[in-house]
A and B are shown apart, each in its own frame.
Chain A
Amino acid sequence: MTDPRLWRILSYGILAFAVLVLIYLVLPTLVIVPLSFSSETFLSFPPPGFSLQWYDAFAQSLDYRIAILNSVKIGLPAALFATVFGTLAALALVRGHLPGRRLLSALMIAPLILPQIVLAIGLFPIMVKLGIIGSYAGILLGHTVLAMPLVFITVAAALKSYAPTYELAAMTLGANRWNTFRFVTLPMIKPGVIVGFIFAFAFSFDELILAIFLTNPATRTVPRLLWEHLNYQMTPVIAAATVVLLVITLSMLAIAAVYARTGARKPSGAAS
């Protein structure tokens, strides 16, 4: 048969290829970091000198301040609604025995899969008719629908991770539905719910296409502001803003990871 050394070389080749792809995955985004500390106005690389002027400009910018506030004002309630609705859907579809469960589950994750431009085209006339175009309510509803699948997926996974006998035991011991949920189900799925909430918030914080159609200059979010700046004026302020946003996203991810891990470490004994 063939020389075993050949296979070893081949496996190192695969490893090297994988490492290169991982670098391709991460490196391009990091290019922004040195640029944000540039002393030049136009994009030049490597930056000729170090300065914090773009961070200063970012901090001074009223546009960014309003956009960040808008993103939080839209993202937090949207994530909250998405969490409540997504958890309800997961409870119904994982714990209940409904006819057409597969189809309903597919419908629940469909908003995540379908191109957002199609939904944006569909929501625009409806929001106009309802008179909430450009308002917080309009974009809030849109983001709730789009973020709900994320919560549905994480909570459904949490519910599938343990047998429903825990709830059965609680109800046999006389707990009503609410108490069973409050003292048994919720503690068990809490990490999934929290991770889902963070994902939903991160999603809303990043979403652009619905924001283009459903917000106005007073309610525009950070991605829409970045988008407008990218289309009309390219200064390193965008780089500074981007680095700040990256740090925010990464810290949210870190929190989510910590929660997911503590949840995985103690799946039982939470029902105290």
Chain B
Amino acid sequence: MSLAMPERRLEKLSPSAARHRPWSPERGHALLLLPPLLLLVAFFVIPLADVVLQSFAGPGHPLTQYERIFTQSSTLQVLLYTFQTAATVTLCTLVLSYPVAFVVSRAKGNLLHLSLALILIPFWTSTVIRTYAWIVILQRRGVLNEMMLDWGWIERPLKLMSNGVGMQIAMIHIMLPFMVIPLLNTMRGIDGNLLRAAAVLGANPLRQFLSVYLPLSLPGVSAGSILVFISSLGFYITPALLGGQKTMVAVLIEQQASRLLDWPMASALATVLLVVTCLLFLLYERAMRFAGGGKTVGEVS
């Protein structure tokens, strides 16, 4: 309180000081930000800046690595394939998640808790473990091949792993919670009375959905899609284990860095990934602002 008195007096005295907010416990909280900010600068911002710097540091002129990325057809192909896979995974996840989020958002009581648990348990299960499960299912003598052989659907085991399809099925499975949770956050905020109003005004369920529900759920759709797209772009574990010949960019970065020791190239690829992710992250922030409340991953009641 002793701090407050002079400020209050100032407010009365000078008109310019009146613009200051009155005393509140919020003052001084800014200092609390210092330790986490220092930690982030030292072990997040500086390392990322270092990656960007390293990408220009190789032999030749500063842009040599980028020239290599965008002229070598092999690396260019990996980049294109990464974007293509991320887009496919995002689209499939959205199509699968939307009805789930819709149904769960209207559930109540124990049913709601059960379905939330079914969504959150995979969300918190290790990606290594979930990818391992897919290896068990998809490999040559795996669950799926054995079952299809037993039922006489196929005569020889199919090659389900080490190709794009198996990897994408596993990635969609792993990404589903990242889509369902933002969708759920948005859908739980949609007022059911709006749909009732539309019905009273003569809209059939399809019309209610298209002109009322879908537009209201779009913030969740964009937030979830961007989140899944970003995560898929930088996905390492599943492509490394299930991808086979076709690699994604994160796997390529790891190979360049730890196997070929081509640090400038790894840094340049990482910089490309970083820039794309940052742009998408800004989009995500904007989408969340529209969704209101600034909710993010894992924030489900």
> Using a CB-CB cutoff of 8 Å, which residues 44-67 of chain B contact chain A?
44, 46-51, 54
Interface: A2 (CB within 8 A): yes
Query: What mask results when residues 124 to 146 of chain B are scored 1 for a CB within 8 Å of chain A, else 0?
Result: 11111111111111010111001
Which of chain A's residues has its CB closest to B143's CB?
A45
- Judge whether A32 is part of the interface by a CB distance below 8 angstroms: yes
Is A44 touching B146 in the complex (CB atoms < 8 A)? yes
CB of B126 within 8 A of CB of A249, answer yes
Partner of B294, one of A10, A92, A105, A264: A105
- B124 with A10: CB separation less than 8 A: no
A62 located at the interface, meaning its Cβ lies under 8 Å from any Cβ of chain B in the complex = no
Q: Which residues of B contact A45 (CB under 8 A)?
A: 136, 142-143, 146-147
Assess A29 versus B125: contact at CB under 8 Å? Given A88-B36, A111-B44, A113-B277. yes
Chain A residues near B31 (CB-CB < 8 A): 92
A104, A121, A150, A206: the one contacting B128 at CB < 8 Å is A206
Contact: A2 with B33, CB < 8 Å?
Answer: no
Give the nearest-CB partner of B52 in chain A.
Answer: A122
Judge whether A109 is part of the interface by a CB distance below 8 angstroms: yes
Q: B32 touching A92 by the CB < 8 A rule?
A: yes
Is the CB–CB distance between A164 and B128 below 8 Å?
A: no
Interface string of A197-235 (1 = CB under 8 A from B): 001001001101100110000000001001100110010
Closest residue on chain B to residue A23 by CB atoms: B118
- When C-beta atoms are compared, the residue in chain B nearest to A30 turns out to be B133
Question: Contact: B44 with A93, CB < 8 Å?
Answer: no
In the complex formed, the residue of A with least CB distance to B41 is A107
The residue in chain B whose Cβ has the minimal distance to the Cβ of A28 is B133
A186 within 8 A of B: no
Q: SS class of chain B's interface: helix, strand, loop or mixed?
A: helix
* Chain B residue at minimal CB-CB distance from A106: B285
Interface hits, B206-258 → A, CB 8 Å: 227, 230, 233-237, 241, 250, 253-254, 257-258
Residues 10-47 of A contacting B (Cβ, < 8 Å): 10-11, 14-15, 17-18, 21-22, 24-26, 28-32, 35, 42-45
Chain A residues positioned under 8 Å from B21 (CB to CB): 97
When distances are taken between beta carbons in the complex, the residues of chain B under 8 Å from A270 are: none
Closest B residue to A1 using CB positions = B204
Interface size on A, residues (CB 8 A): 102
* CA of A115 to CA of B284, assembled, Å: 15
Which one, A142, A167, A208, contacts B25 given CB within 8 A? Answer: A167
Interface centre among A11, A97, A113, A208 (most CB of B within 10 A): A113
Enumerate chain B residues within 8 angstroms of A171, measured Cβ to Cβ. Answer: 1, 25
B44-A25 in contact (CB<8A): no
B136-180: which have CB < 8 Å to A?
Answer: 136-137, 139, 141-143, 146-147, 173, 176-177
Q: In the complex, are the beta carbons of B233 and A115 less than 8 A apart?
A: yes
Chain B residues whose C-beta falls within 8 Å of the C-beta of A226 in the assembled complex:
128-129, 132
* B44 partner residues in chain A, CB cutoff 8 A: 110-111, 119, 145
A96 to B301, CA, bound (A): 25
Q: Is the CB of B299 within 8 A of A157?
A: yes
Chain B positions within 8 Å of A, measured between CB atoms, are 1, 21, 24-33, 35-37, 39-40, 43-44, 46-51, 54, 96-97, 99-100, 102-104, 115, 117-122, 124-137, 139, 141-143, 146-147, 173, 176-177, 204-205, 227, 230, 233-237, 241, 250, 253-254, 257-258, 263, 266-267, 270, 273-274, 277-278, 281-282, 284-285, 293-299, 301
